[in-house]
């Protein structure tokens, strides 16, 4: 299993940014100042936090300014190479083709003027899995329904069956999100100085069924117009400059019910999307937390794939289903952090890369720390809410106030020892009505 450290990130940075004239003036779009830092610095932080460190920047307009600012990446402990667009406008595909000799066999491609906060480990996992089944690329897609721009992707049973950005059809409910992975060899069919849009390759792969999908649930930000620039600045201010409290929610037994698993004859987490059932009031409770001024993060142990009861793709599918269903009811989850690991290999284990001693499996507080690195959180006013001892222990280790959901029986009290919860709530609805309003 490859990791972000093995994957080259290619960034399209050649754009002129004509609609943003009052901000760009003499400056390439990727360097436009957002809250005191160049736009792309915000995206680069996200990527380096995932562990990416090999970058190739495709530059054109004011290339000198980008090189001056990022250099060879040494200051950031990453490596950056450059490819120059040249005089002729080549389009997105042509710019990538021009960098052919610098491309690795497989690479991730993003735009230098978009902020895309997704699970990049999922991207790489799905790409590799797709390749083993004959795919040659991956496209991230967002259920759009023409919210942001014209939808351009038809999905059937989780698969891309058509991508066409020129001829929209009513069947198109998804939009391409802007993060893709490709096999380098896809570009060899084009001439060195040939101008073409990358959508040519994407369309071709979609009709051949050779493009894997990753459904993402979080909107992207871009700075293509003064209005979107302002919107992103507001987002950056709230997320990085101000500090807000959070509720960290365990998933199973808090948001959804635990289900009977026939294979092991006991209650367990859902192992298929069809087994996932919301507990009563979960969406409205999440809305209440948000209205009271909290971030809502989900921190969940899901060792089901490591134990061979399901696969990692299905675990991702279940989370995607949960987050989009909640969003459909107006309950926006700010982020989800999942530990898919388990400490020892079992007879049924297939995805053995998930077996490891990690720092993220609760009762360790690693998932909470990951959220702290991504957001500016007022920890002293934040809560960990869960239905097991491991949740209470993880919350206590991170210095959070802890809320236990359910009946606290005496045998459990003994187990909790030092980590007795500060509060007990009947369910998530009770917890949401009890926390103070922090706005
Ligand atoms: Mg639980």
Domain residue extents for the chain: 4-150+176-229, 243-434
Interval between CA 272 and ligand 1 midpoint (Å): 17
Interval between CA 236 and ligand 1 midpoint (Å): 32
Interval between CA 391 and ligand 1 midpoint (Å): 8
Q: Assess contact for 60 and 68: CB atoms under 8 A.
A: no
Omega within 30 of 0 (cis) for the link into 307: no
Omega within 30 of 0 (cis) for the link into 363: yes
Interval between CA 386 and ligand 1 midpoint (Å): 6
4-150+176-229 with 243-434: one CATH topology?
no
Interval between CA 404 and ligand 1 midpoint (Å): 10
Structure tokens at 428: 């998530």
Which option is the CATH number for 4-150+176-229: 3.90.550.10, 3.30.470.20, 3.40.50.11240, 3.40.50.10310? Answer: 3.90.550.10
d(CA 392, CA 86): 58
Residue 331 DSSP label: -
Residue 126 DSSP label: H
CATH homologous superfamily of 243-434 equals HAD superfamily/HAD-like (3.40.50.1000)
Interval between CA 303 and ligand 1 midpoint (Å): 12
d(CA 367, CA 274): 26
Structure tokens at 224: 């293509």
Q: Is 184 helix (H, G, I), strand (E, B) or coil?
A: helix
d(CA 260, CA 321): 20
d(CA 76, CA 53): 9
Structure tokens at 88: 């002729």
Interval between CA 312 and ligand 1 midpoint (Å): 19
Interval between CA 245 and ligand 1 midpoint (Å): 22
d(CA 11, CA 97): 13
Interval between CA 253 and ligand 1 midpoint (Å): 5
d(CA 42, CA 53): 15
**What is the residue-level pLDDT of the chain in tens, covering all 439 positions?**
889 999 999 999 987 655 566 665 678 889 999 999 999 999 999 999 999 999 999 998 889 999 999 999 999 999 999 999 887 888 999 999 999 999 999 999 999 999 999 999 999 999 999 999 999 999 999 988 667 778 898 988 778 999 998 888 888 889 999 999 999 999 999 998 899 999 999 999 999 999 999 999 998 999 888 899 999 999 999 999 999 999 999 999 999 999 988 877 888 999 999 999 999 999 999 999 999 999 999 999 999 999 999 999 999 999 999 999 999 999 999 999 999 999 999 999 999 999 999 999 999 999 999 999 999 999 999 999 999 999 999 999 999 999 999 877 656 666 666 677 888 999 999 999 999 999 8
Centroid of chain to Cα 262 = 32
Q: Assess contact for 82 and 101: CB atoms under 8 A.
A: no
Interval between CA 376 and ligand 1 midpoint (Å): 26
Q: What's the chain's Rg over C-alpha atoms?
A: 23
Q: Assess contact for 143 and 173: CB atoms under 8 A.
A: yes
Q: Assess contact for 259 and 275: CB atoms under 8 A.
A: yes
Neighbours of ion ligand 1 (CB under 5 A): 250, 252-253, 387
């Amino acid at each position: 299993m490859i990791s972000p450290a093995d994957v080259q990130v290619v960034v399209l940075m050649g754009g002129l940014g004509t609609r943003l004239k009052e901000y760009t003036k003499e400056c390439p779009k990727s360097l436009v100042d957002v809250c005191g830092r160049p736009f792309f610095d915000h995206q680069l932080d996200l990527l380096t936090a995932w562990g990416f460190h090999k970058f190739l920047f495709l530059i054109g307009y004011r290339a000198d300014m980008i090189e001056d600012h990022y250099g060879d990446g040494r200051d950031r402990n990453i490596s950056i190479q450059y490819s120059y667009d040249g005089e002729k406008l080549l389009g997105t595909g042509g710019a990538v083709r021009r960098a052919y000799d610098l491309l690795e066999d497989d690479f991730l491609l993003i735009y230098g003027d978009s902020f895309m906060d997704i699970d990049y480990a999922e991207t790489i996992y799905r790409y590799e899995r797709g390749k083993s089944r004959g795919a040659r690329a991956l496209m991230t897609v967002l259920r759009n329904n023409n919210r942001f721009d014209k939808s351009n992707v038809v999905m059937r049973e989780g698969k891309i069956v058509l991508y066409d950005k020129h001829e929209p059809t009513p069947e198109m409910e998804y939009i391409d999100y802007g993060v893709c992975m490709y096999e380098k060899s896809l570009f060899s069919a084009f001439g060195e100085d040939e101008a073409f849009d990358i959508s040519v390759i994407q369309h071709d792969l979609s009709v051949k069924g050779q493009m894997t999908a990753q459904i993402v649930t979080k909107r992207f930000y871009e700075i293509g117009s003064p209005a979107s620039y302002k919107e992103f600045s507001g987002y950056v201010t709230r997320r990085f400059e101000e500090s807000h409290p959070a509720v960290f929610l365990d998933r199973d037994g808090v948001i959804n019910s635990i289900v009977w698993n026939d294979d092991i004859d006991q209650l367990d987490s859902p192992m298929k999307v069809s087994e996932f059932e919301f507990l009563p009031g979960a969406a409205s409770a999440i809305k209440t937390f948000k209205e009271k001024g909290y971030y809502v993060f989900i921190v969940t142990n899901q060792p089901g794939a490591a134990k061979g009861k399901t696969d990692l793709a299905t675990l991702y599918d279940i989370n995607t289903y949960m987050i989009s269903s909640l969003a459909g009811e107006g309950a926006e989850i700010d982020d989800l952090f999942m530990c898919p690991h388990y400490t020892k290999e079992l007879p049924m284990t297939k995805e053995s890369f998930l077996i490891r001693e990690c720092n993220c499996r609760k009762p360790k507080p690693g998932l909470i720390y990951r959220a702290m690195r991504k957001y500016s959180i007022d920890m002293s006013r934040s809560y960990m809410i869960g239905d097991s001892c491991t949740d209470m222990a993880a919350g206590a280790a991170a210095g959070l106030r802890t809320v236990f959901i359910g009946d606290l029986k005496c045998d459990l009290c003994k187990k909790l020892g030092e980590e007795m919860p500060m509060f007990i709530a009947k369910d998530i609805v009770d917890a949401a009505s009890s926390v103070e309003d922090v706005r």
